[in-house]
Structure formats: structure tokens, C-alpha cells
Amino acid sequence: MNKTSPQNAPVETPLAVRPWLVARALCQREIVRFVRQRNRVFGALGQPLVFWILFSAGLDRSFRLSPAGQGGQSFQAYYFPGTLVLVLLFTAIFATISIIEDRREGFLQSVLVSPTPRWAMVLGKVMGGSLLAMFQALIFCLLALTLSVSI
């Protein structure tokens, strides 16, 4: 038989799956989804910022770490690390919610049946959430520098 006949056609093997490219694509997808959803952007940055401003303005006069009469740390400076943790916490919650949305939309099922390893999917989701959290924390730290809060 001839090697070019359809009966003896060589079986083509699928291209090798590159898990790092899959993880990068899923990471990019997380970032794009975050930027396109304006309510997530406001919820991740606006809510902790509003809490920080309102609590620091309301409790600043009643809070001093040093004895009365001495210039102590303001509540705004004291509450800043806690608000930074809130930014990271809200980002983690929204990243978890995105997995639930992916499942509801059927995207998670299509990723799970693909020939990519499962760890690449997990790594992509974690990288996307971590990069978003780091970016939001960096913005919040830059804001603190403009408001003269010592870090």
C-alpha cells in the first residue's frame, strides 16, 4: 500500500500543550474580566477607601497611642494596614466568585475537559487574583504617600 493513501495516513499527534501558556492566558482573562466589570473595580478599591476615610475622620480625635498632650500616631495611620488587608481580602473574595461565575457560564467545564493539566488552570486563576491584589495594594500604598501617612 501507498504511504499517501487515506488508509495508511499517518496519525497526527496534537500539538504539545504548554501549561505555562495556558496559565498565562487564564491570568490575562482574570485581569481583563476585572477591568471590564466597573462594579468590581469600585468594590475592590472604593469600599476600603471609603471605610478608611470615614473611620479615620470620625475616630481621629478620640484615638491616640501616646499619652495625652504628646503628638501620637493618628488613627488614619493606625488603620491604614487594616484597610490594606481589606483590599487584599476583597480581591480574594472576588477571585473566588469569578470561579463560581466560570462554572455557571460553562467556561470552567471547557477548561477542565481540555488536555491541559489541572495545575495550569489553578495557577492561572491564582496568578490573576494575586496580580490584581498586588496592583490594588500598590495603588492604595501610593495613595497613602500622597496623604502623608507614614508606612
Q: Is residue 114 part of a domain?
A: yes
Please check whether residue 107 is in contact with residue 77, taking contact to mean a CB–CB distance below 8 angstroms. Answer: no
Q: Looking at residue 13, what is its pLDDT? A: 46
Helix (H) or strand (E) holding 28: helix 19-36
> What CA–CA distance (Å, rounded) separates 6 from 27?
41
**Which is higher by pLDDT, 132 or 64?**
132
Report whether 97 contacts 40 (CB < 8 A): no
How far is residue 96's CA from residue 108's CA, in Å, rounded to a whole number? 13
Give the number of other CB atoms < 10 A from CB of residue 22: 20
Can you give the C-alpha Rg of the chain in angstroms? 24
Q: Is residue 139 included in any domain, yes or no?
A: yes
Are the beta carbons of 20 and 118 closer than 8 angstroms? Answer: no
Spatial distance between the Cα atoms of 81 and 60, rounded to a whole number of angstroms: 16
Domain-located, residue 1: no
Question: Cell 470561579, residue?
Answer: 99
Distance CA 142, CA 138 (A): 6
pLDDT at residue number 126: 92
Full residue range of the structural domain in which residue 93 is found: 18-60+73-146
Is residue 53 assigned to a domain? yes
Cα–Cα distance for residue pair 151/148, rounded to 1 Å: 9
Q: What is the pLDDT of residue 56?
A: 76
> pTM of this prediction?
0.74
Residue 4 lies in a domain: no
Residue 128 covered by a domain: yes
What is the model's pLDDT at position 29?
92
Per-residue confidence (pLDDT) for residue 64, from 0 to 100: 61
Instruction: Note whether residue 135 is domain-resident.
Output: yes
The count of domains in the chain is 1
Answer with the residue of higher pLDDT: 6 or 53.
53
Q: How confident is the model at residue 4 (pLDDT cuts 50, 70, 90)?
A: low
Average pLDDT, the chain: 80
Encode pLDDT of 21-45 as tens digits: 989 999 999 999 988 988 878 877 7
Q: What is the pLDDT of residues 73-105, one digit of tens each?
A: 777 777 888 888 888 888 888 888 888 888 899
Picking from 43-52, 62-71, 83-92, which range would have the lowest pLDDT averaged per residue? 62-71
Angle between helix 47-59 and 75-105 (nearest 10): 160
Q: Note whether residue 12 is domain-resident.
A: no
